[in-house]
């Protein structure tokens, strides 16, 4: 998943993500603006907080490398993971909506994020309407992902939920070239999976083991391999939706 380069900030024109086909190209002018928009970088360790659940950060973040997740908790500690974040994902916009932070964001692995100041967001909309539209697009896309998670948690059985999660993780990982030799990184603990799927830890474990014993997938060394993707997709009632090329800011 890469490692942080201490001391030096990655210039946007050399951003390793842009060379991926997943991301739509940008003009030189736009790229130059994004470079000025990028205020700094944020390095976090695995398990570190990116946005605390209480309080405001007043900033936007794009995941540069590593994985993270958005979550919300009840006062007695029950936690729901809203979605997982991959490189290229934008976080922090929802803070514009509420006065307090509506959710927490935590790193799943060691990660690096590009930091953008909210104050310059207005310049972006005024000077580069296309980038403004791209931000809307990214927000709508994230909502689309959360919609899917809500369908999963609300209407799928435990096995179906786990199957869905496995497929989804692989799909997102593949989009950014993380499929190496048929396996993708899988840094989540079973507690993360349980919190994402609305299940208990114990039941998550049993369901995972059952699917693994059925030979549908294999989890080893924090990497995931789908052995029978077709069966998993049928089980989850999954069908791929073609996406437009994705903007990157």
Partner DNA sequence: CGGGAAGTTGACGGGTCTCAATGGCCGTGG
Partner DNA sequence: CCACGGCCATTGAGACCCGTCAACTTCCCG
Footprint of a second copy (CB under 8 A)? 70, 72, 74-76, 78-80, 82, 93-94, 96-100, 102-103, 121-122, 125-126, 129-130, 132-133, 135-137, 139-144, 146-151, 153-156, 195, 197-198, 237, 241-244
Q: How far apart are CA 157 and CA 248, in angstroms?
A: 35
Q: How far apart are CA 241 and CA 101, in angstroms?
A: 31
Q: Which does 202 bind (CB under 5 to 8 A by kind): DNA, a second copy, none?
A: DNA
- Minimum gap (Å) between residue 149 Cβ and DNA: 15
- Minimum gap (Å) between residue 60 Cβ and a second copy: 11
CB within 8 Å of 194: residues ≥ 6 apart: 200, 201, 203, 204
- Minimum gap (Å) between residue 49 Cβ and DNA: 15
Within 13 Å of residue 213, how many CA atoms lie on the same side as its CB?
7
Q: Which does 191 bind (CB under 5 to 8 A by kind): a second copy, DNA, none?
A: DNA
Within 13 Å of residue 68, how many CA atoms lie on the same side as its CB?
31
Nearer to DNA, 96 or 189 (CB): 189
Q: How many other C-beta atoms lie within 10 A of the C-beta of residue 133?
A: 12
Using CB under 7 A, list all residues that contact DNA: 157-159, 189-191, 198-209, 221
Nearest-5° Cα angle at 169, 160 to 211? 40
- Minimum gap (Å) between residue 191 Cβ and DNA: 6
Give the bridge partners for 116, in sequence order: 60
């Amino acid at each position: 998943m890469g490692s942080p380069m201490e001391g030096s900030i990655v210039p946007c024109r050399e951003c390793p993500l842009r060379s991926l086909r997943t991301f739509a190209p940008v003009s030189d002018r736009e790229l130059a603006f994004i470079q000025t928009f990028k205020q700094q970088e944020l390095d976090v360790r695995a398990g570190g907080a990116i946005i605390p659940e209480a309080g405001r950060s007043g900033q936007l973040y794009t995941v540069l490398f590593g994985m993270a997740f958005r979550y919300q908790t009840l006062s007695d500690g029950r936690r729901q993971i809203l979605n997982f974040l991959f490189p290229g994902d934008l976080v922090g916009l929802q803070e514009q909506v509420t006065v307090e932070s509506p959710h927490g964001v935590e790193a799943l692995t060691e990660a690096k994020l590009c930091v953008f100041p909210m104050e310059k967001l207005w310049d972006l909309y005024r000077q580069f309407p296309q980038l403004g539209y791209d931000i809307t697009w990214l927000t709508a896309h994230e909502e689309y992902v959360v919609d899917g998670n809500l369908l999963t948690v609300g209407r799928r059985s435990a096995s179906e939920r786990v199957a869905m999660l496995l497929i989804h993780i692989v799909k997102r990982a593949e989009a950014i070239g993380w499929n190496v030799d048929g396996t993708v990184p899988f840094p989540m603990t079973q507690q993360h999976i349980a919190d994402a799927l609305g299940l208990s830890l114990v039941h998550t474990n049993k369901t995972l083991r059952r699917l693994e014993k059925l030979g549908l997938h294999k989890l080893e060394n924090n990497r995931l391999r789908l052995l029978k993707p077709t069966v998993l997709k049928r089980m989850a009632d999954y069908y791929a939706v073609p996406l437009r090329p994705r903007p990157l800011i």
